[in-house]
Structure 1
Amino acid sequence: MKMLNSFNAKRAAAGIRRINLDGLRWRVFDAKGQILGRLASKIATVVMGKDKPTYTPNRDDGDMCIVLNAKDIAVTGRKLTDKDQMAKDPTDVIRKAVLRMLPKNNLRDDRDRKLRIFPGSEHPFADRPLEPYVMPPRTVREMRPRARRAMIRAQKKAEQQQENAEQRQNAEDMKNGKKSEAQEESA
């Protein structure tokens, strides 16, 4: 299967007629450089409508989600090289991640219809009022004191080993240098 470089307008609009679009917002997610799991959890929240104050689990109040640049998504570890799903169809990887984060109930198919994923930055919904979704920045917490002390000890140990190796190298150079000078005098 070849990678999808462009979108199919007919396929992109499939199932839209079955969705009541009154009062729905059209949210746009840019997947470029985003981590797959974090992005999928945010999309699942918006598709379910959990970001709204009127959320109820038995009603489908979620918004339409358009995901762009699916081919440029980031994955942690070596998954990009170990797994080949991204080469086949990058939109399928995001769709599976989002669907597996949705509850397994009767509303799941309706919520899936509200999710539109495109490998590039072009999409057929430019005539709609789109709202870009800004991913919240990741907060990096400080290291715990014990882990910080362990890291400092490891750094000091590495520095000490490097100094010892340099001293041994200098000592060997001095011995070799003295021998060569003594050999030159006797010759």
Structure 2
Amino acid sequence: MKTTHLKPADPQWILVDAEGQNLGRLSTKIATILRGKHRASFSPHQLCGDHVIVINAEKLFFHPTKHRRKIYVKHTGYLGHLKTWSLKEMIEKKPTEMIEKAVKGMLPKNRLSKQMLKRLHVYAGPEHQHEAQKPQPLTAAK
């Protein structure tokens, strides 16, 4: 049996506007693009995904009760140092980290996941610094 090795295609730059989008649906779309599953030349052991630029991360849509019920948790490793943030606090302080955490949870847990996450660029507002790469806009389902 022969092993086929595909030549990795040049990664494209894709622009996603997160305004009014649902976090879960948006992050699944982003995860499939980062992984490269939208291409015909997908190979699970190669880095064949595209770069994704997400703008307006602070304007995601959430159900009103989720603002106080959803909690992000982090433990530093020291006794008594369990840090918790509500969704409302995350939107105010770190709006880009919500999308990064959601996408990270949807990527495979292997060596390629760090390289895939490096291709994710999230910005809180409408401005980004990747105009030179000429990103193509992507329309995500609401």
**TM-score tier after normalising by the smaller chain length:** 0.7 to 0.9
Q: What per-residue deviation string (whole Å, max 9, x for no partner) do you get for residues 99-158 of structure 1?
A: 000000000100000000000010111111210011136xxxxxxxxxxxxxxxxxxxxx
5+ residue gaps, structure 1: 1-21, 138-187
- Could you tell me which residue of structure 1 aligns to residue 65 of structure 2? 78
Deviates more, 1:75-84 or 1:63-72: 75-84
TM-aligned CA deviation for residue 88 of structure 1: 1.6
- Please provide the CA RMSD for this pair: 1.4
Greater CA drift, 79-88 or 119-128: 79-88
Q: How does 1:28-39 map to 2 (within 5 A)?
A: 28-39=15-26
Aligned partner of 1:53 among 25, 34, 40: 40
Equivalent residue runs for 1:71-150 within 5 Å: 71-76=58-63, 78-82=65-69, 83=86, 84-136=89-141
Which structure: larger Rg? 1
Query: Taking CA–CA contacts closer than 8 Å with sequence separation of 6 or more, which of the two structures ends up with the larger relative contact order?
Result: 2
Equivalent residue, structure 1, for 2:54: 67
Which structure carries more helix by proportion? 1
Output the amino acid matched with 1:88: K
Identical positions, percent:
35
More strand by share: 2
| TM-score, length-scaled by structure 2 | 0.77
TM-score w.r.t. length of structure 1: 0.59
